[in-house]
Structure formats: C-alpha cells, structure tokens
Amino acid sequence: MYTIRRYQLITARTDHDFLITTTMGAKIPGKKLSHILAALNEFKHYECSEAQLNHLAEQHEVELLALKTVLIEKLQ
C-alpha cells in the first residue's frame, strides 16, 4: 500500500500542468503523467495499492517500474 501526499494539480494556460504541495511545486511535462496524477488524486483515503498502481500503469500504457520511479523518487 502506498500513501499519497495531498497535492493540487493546476492546469495553466501553457502546455504544462503544475503539481503543488505544501512544500514544493513541480511542472508536469506530459499529459499522460498529468492524467495519472489526476486519477491518483481521486483515490479514497489517499492510499493506493500495488494492484491499483499496476492498473493505472496499464491504462496509461506506461511501465510500472517507470511510474513508480517518477512517483516515489522524483515527486516525493
């Protein structure tokens, strides 16, 4: 089970979306990641199981390991 930090996904008038937390802000470079982050933000109790994460990766046609790397190491 993974705990999801609360964040806000902001769509700007540019080609990029932005992720904002209480401690950081990040420019989201692609729509695919933006869609995944929007889906994660809808999970109840801000928790995500391995199966749910795998399902998201399959839905958005990304490798699970690559998705985990971005979510855990880059956006931590």
- Could you read off the pLDDT of 10-42 as tens digits, one per residue? 777 667 788 777 777 888 888 888 888 889 888
What pLDDT was estimated at residue 17?
81
Select the more confidently predicted residue: 8 or 62: 62
Per-domain residue ranges for the chain? 2-74
The alpha-carbon radius of gyration of the chain (Å, integer) is 12
Q: Using the 8-state DSSP alphabet, how is residue 70 labeled?
A: I
Distance, in Å, from the CA atom of 3 to the CA atom of 18, rounded to the nearest integer, reads 20
d(CA 56, CA 36): 7
